[in-house]
Chain A
Amino acid sequence: MGLESRLGDNILTTVADKFINWGRKNSLWPLTFGTACCGIELMGTIASRYDISRFGAEVLRFSPRQADLLVVAGRIVIKMGPVLKKIYDQMLEPKWVMALGACATSGGVFDTYGVIQGIEQFIPVDVYVPGCPPRPEDIINGLLKLQKKIERDTVLAHRR
C-alpha cells in the first residue's frame, strides 16, 4: 500500500492489518450485478426478513466507482461479457468478486451457445455461492466466508 508496506513484519503492521481489515470487512458496499433469477433472491436477502445490512452490506451502489464488492448474480451471456469486464475494470482497489449461483459459477443448466460457462474465465473470483438459486441464508454464508478471507489480508506488499 503506502509507507506501511515497508515497515516490516512487526506489531505496528499487525495492528494496522487488524484495524484495516476490520473496517473493510464490516462495510462492504455491494454492486449487485443481478441479471436473472439469482437477482430476485438477492433482493429477498436485502429485504426485511434476511436483512443483509446486519453485516454491514447495506449501502447498495450501482456505480462501480463507489462499490467494492461485485456480486454477479445470474447467467452471463456473450453479449453481456464485455459489459461485465468493463464494470470490473472500472472498480477501484481493493475489490472482491462474489459469483452467486450456478450460472455465474459454471454456466448452470445452460450448456448452450450463448451462455459463458463461468465468469472465472475472464475475471478473478473470490467466493462462489452454489445453488439454483441459493437461499438467502446461503448468500449470507457466502458473505461471511468473504469476510473471513478479508481478515487474512495484510498490508505488507511482499506477503500478499
Chain B
Amino acid sequence: MADEVKETPTERMVLNFGPSHPATHGVFRNILELDGERILDVEVEIGFLHSGFEKLGENRSYNQFIPIADRMNYVSPLNNDIGYVLAVEKLLGIKVPPRCQYIRVIMCELNRIADHLVSIGMHAVDIGAMTVFLYAFKQREIIYDILEFVTGSRMNNCYPRVGGLVADVPEGFEEKVTDFADHFLPTVDDMDRLLTRNRIWVDRNKGIGAISAEESISWGLSGPILRAAGVERDIRKDEPYSSYDHFDFEIPVGTRGDSYDRYLVRMEEMRQSNRIIQQAIANLPGGEINVDDPKIILPPKDRVYHTIEGLIHHFKLIMEEHGFQPPKGEIYLATEVPNGELGFFIISDGTNKPYRIHVRAPSFINYSVFPQLVKGHMISDVVAIISSLNIIAGELDR
C-alpha cells in the first residue's frame, strides 16, 4: 500500500495568490507553481496600485508635493514627508533650526513605532494570533491621538514644510509624549511574552525565508531585512541627518536572516525608538521652528491680513506660477524609514516645479527578493514571508 502511494503520479498545479486576498497586505499577485504543497516557482505581478506619483511630482510645486508624498507609505506618512523635505532643503542648501530638527525626530520615531506595530500585528494575525493585533492597534490609537493633537489629522498629516514646519507644537505636547513614552514598554513586553518563545510562532518563523548577508547586499535590501541578515547598516548612524547624532541608541542586528530574526529586530527597534523619543523630549530646545529666509517661508498670518507687504509676500509664494525657485542641479538624499532606505532624487531646472522626482522606494526593492526566498517552502510559509517583509503597496507601486 505504501509503495502504491509512492508510485502515484503527481502533477504540478498553478495557484493564483491575490490581488484581492486577505493575507497579502496590499494588492499584488503571486502566481505559485506547486508540487503538492511545496513551491517550485513563483511569478510576481505588481502594478495594481500604480498611480503615477512621479509624473504628478513634475506638475506640482515643491510644497504641493508634500501631501502626495504622504500617500506613498501610508502607515508612517511623516517619515516620507520629512525625507522629501530634507531632500529639498539639501537642494536649496539650507539648514533648519534645532527645535525643528528635534520635533521632526520625535515625529519620525513615533511613526516608526506605529509602523512596526502594524507590521508585527498583521504578521501575528496571519499566523493566527489575534490578540497581539488588538494590543498593537490600541497603542496605535494613542499615537494617533498625539498626532491629531499636533497636526490636525490622524493619518496623512502633511506636517513639515520646506524650511520648517507648518506650526509649532501646541501646549501640552511634552506631557502627552512623555506620558506615552513612559507607558509604552509594558505593551512591547506583553507582545514579547505572547510571541517570542511561543512554540507555534517559533516553528512557523524560524528558518523560513532566510537570506545571507552577501545576497542581501546584491539584492539591494535595506532596513530590518538587511539588519536581520547580519549587516550593520542604518542611515541614522552612518550618515546622520536632522541631529540624530545627538541621541544615544543602538542598532539591533540579527544572525540568520530569517522571518524570526526580522521580527526580533523590529521588536528591539521599537524599544530603541522609545529611548530616542525620551531623550528628545527631555532636551527639546526652544527657539524658532522655521529657517529665517523670507523667500521660502510664508509670513505670519496677522501680517498677511493687516499689511499690504505681508499680502504681497504671501501671494508671491503661494500662487500658481510663483513660489521659491531652487538653483539648477541634481541631488539625492536618503533617510531611514521603518522599511529601509527611502531616497529622493530631485532634478531642478530653476523653476518653481521640480523637473524630475525619482523615489527610491524600499518596499519595491525589498519585494524583488521574494521569489528567491520562497522557493522550496510550503504555501503557509508564503504568508509568513510576505508579512515579515512588510510590503506597503502604495510604496511598492507608486
A109 / chain B contacts, CB cutoff of 8 Å: 67-68, 71
| A80-B55 contact, Cβ under 8 Å, with A36-B393, A133-B155 | no
Closest to A84 in B: B20
Q: Which residues does chain B contribute within 8 Å of A7, judged by CB atoms?
A: none
- B:143-183 near A, CB below 8 Å: 144, 154-156
Distance in angstroms between the alpha carbons of A106 and B144 in the assembled complex: 27
Q: Which residues of the partner chain A approach B186 to less than 8 Å between Cβ atoms?
A: none
Q: Are B141 and A77 in contact (CB under 8 A)?
A: no
| Among A47, A112, A113, contact of B137 (Cβ-Cβ < 8 Å) | A47
Q: How far is the CA of A144 from the CA of B155 in the complex (A)?
A: 23
A87 touches B20 (CB 8 A): yes
State whether the Cβ of B56 lies closer than 8 Å to any Cβ in chain A.
Answer: yes
Stretch at the interface among B6-14, B36-44, B45-53: B45-53
0/1 interface trace, chain A 24-55, chain B, CB 8 Å (1 if under): 00000000010111001101100111000000
- Interface residue tally of chain B, by bracket? 20 to 34
A122 surroundings in chain B (CB, below 8 A): none
Complex Cα spacing A74 to B51, Å: 11
Say what secondary structure dominates the interface of chain A.
Answer: loop
B27 at the interface (CB under 8 A from A): yes
**Do A40 and B134 form a contact, CB below 8 Å, given A87-B20, A110-B56, A114-B52?**
no
Known: A40-B74, A49-B141. A75 touches B49 (CB 8 A): yes
A62 at the interface (CB under 8 A from B): yes
- Report if A132 contacts B (CB, 8 A): yes
Instruction: Determine whether the beta carbon of A79 is less than 8 Å from that of B21.
Output: no
User: Inside 8 A of A41's CB, which chain B residues have their CB?
Assistant: 154-155
Q: Are A48 and B155 in contact (CB under 8 A)?
A: no
Contact flags A65-82 to B (C-beta < 8 A → 1, else 0) = 000000000110101100
- Annotate A99-130 by CB proximity to B: 1 below 8 A, 0 otherwise: 00000000001101111000000000000000
- Which of B74, B118, B138, B155 is close to A49, meaning CB atoms less than 8 Å apart? B138
Contact B155 A37 (CB under 8 A): yes
A16 at the interface (CB under 8 A from B): no
What is the total number of residues of chain A having a CB less than 8 Å from a CB of chain B?
A: 28
Question: 1/0 per residue B380-397: CB within 8 Å of A?
Answer: 000000000000011001
Q: Are A47 and B27 in contact (CB under 8 A)?
A: no
Known: A33-B20, A49-B141, A80-B27. A112 touches B55 (CB 8 A): yes
Q: Is B22 an interface residue when CB atoms closer than 8 A count as contact? A: yes
Taking a contact as CB atoms closer than 8 A, the residue among B49, B140, B154 that contacts A135 in the complex is B154
Question: Is A83 an interface residue when CB atoms closer than 8 A count as contact?
Answer: yes
**Pairwise interchain contact B56-A83, C-beta atoms closer than 8 A:** no
Scoring B residues 51 to 81 as 1 if CB is less than 8 Å from chain A, else 0, what string do you get?
A: 1100110000000000110010011000000
**Contact status of A44 and B141, CB under 8 A, knowing A62-B22, A132-B156:** yes
The reply to whether B134 and A48 form a contact with Cβ atoms under 8 Å apart is yes
The reply to whether B20 and A77 contact each other, CB–CB distance below 8 Å, is no
Taking CB as reference atom, which chain B residue is nearest A38? B74
Contact A75 B51 (CB under 8 A): yes
B397 neighbours in A (Cβ, 8 Å): 77
- The answer to whether A83 and B19 have CB atoms under 8 Å apart is yes
Give min CB distance, A97 to chain B, whole Å. Answer: 15
Q: Are A48 and B393 in contact (CB under 8 A)?
A: no
| Given contact pairs A48-B137, A115-B52, A40 touches B19 in the complex (Cβ within 8 A) | no
A83 and B48 contact, Cβ closer than 8 Å, known pairs A37-B156, A49-B141: yes
Is the CB–CB distance between B74 and A37 below 8 Å? Answer: yes
B21 with A62: CB separation less than 8 A: yes
Nearest chain B residue, comparing its CB with the CB of A32: B22
C-beta contact mask, A132-159 vs B, less than 8 Å → 1, else 0?
1101000000000000000000000000
Residue of A with least CB distance to B142: A49
A49 to B145: give the CA distance in the assembly, Å: 12
Taken together as a complex, chains A and B put the C-alpha atoms of A113 and B68 apart, in Å, by: 16
Is the Cβ of B156 less than 8 Å from the Cβ of A79?
no
The answer to whether B49 touches A80 (Cβ under 8 A) is: yes
Known: A37-B71, A37-B74, A113-B55. A80 touches B48 (CB 8 A): yes
Using a CB–CB distance below 8 Å, which chain B residues touch chain A?
19-22, 26-27, 47-52, 55-56, 67-68, 71, 74-75, 118, 133-134, 137-138, 140-141, 144, 154-156, 393-394, 397
Q: In the A-B complex, list the 4 residue pairs whose CB atoms are closest, starting with the nearest.
A: A112-B52, A37-B74, A47-B137, A62-B22
20 cross-chain CB contacts under 8 A: A33-B20, A35-B26, A35-B49, A37-B156, A40-B75, A43-B137, A44-B140, A47-B134, A47-B141, A77-B48, A77-B50, A80-B27, A83-B20, A87-B20, A109-B67, A109-B71, A112-B55, A114-B50, A114-B52, A115-B52
Given contacts A41-B154, A47-B138, A75-B51, 9 further A-B contacts (CB under 8 A): A35-B48, A36-B393, A43-B137, A44-B144, A47-B137, A49-B138, A62-B20, A80-B49, A132-B156
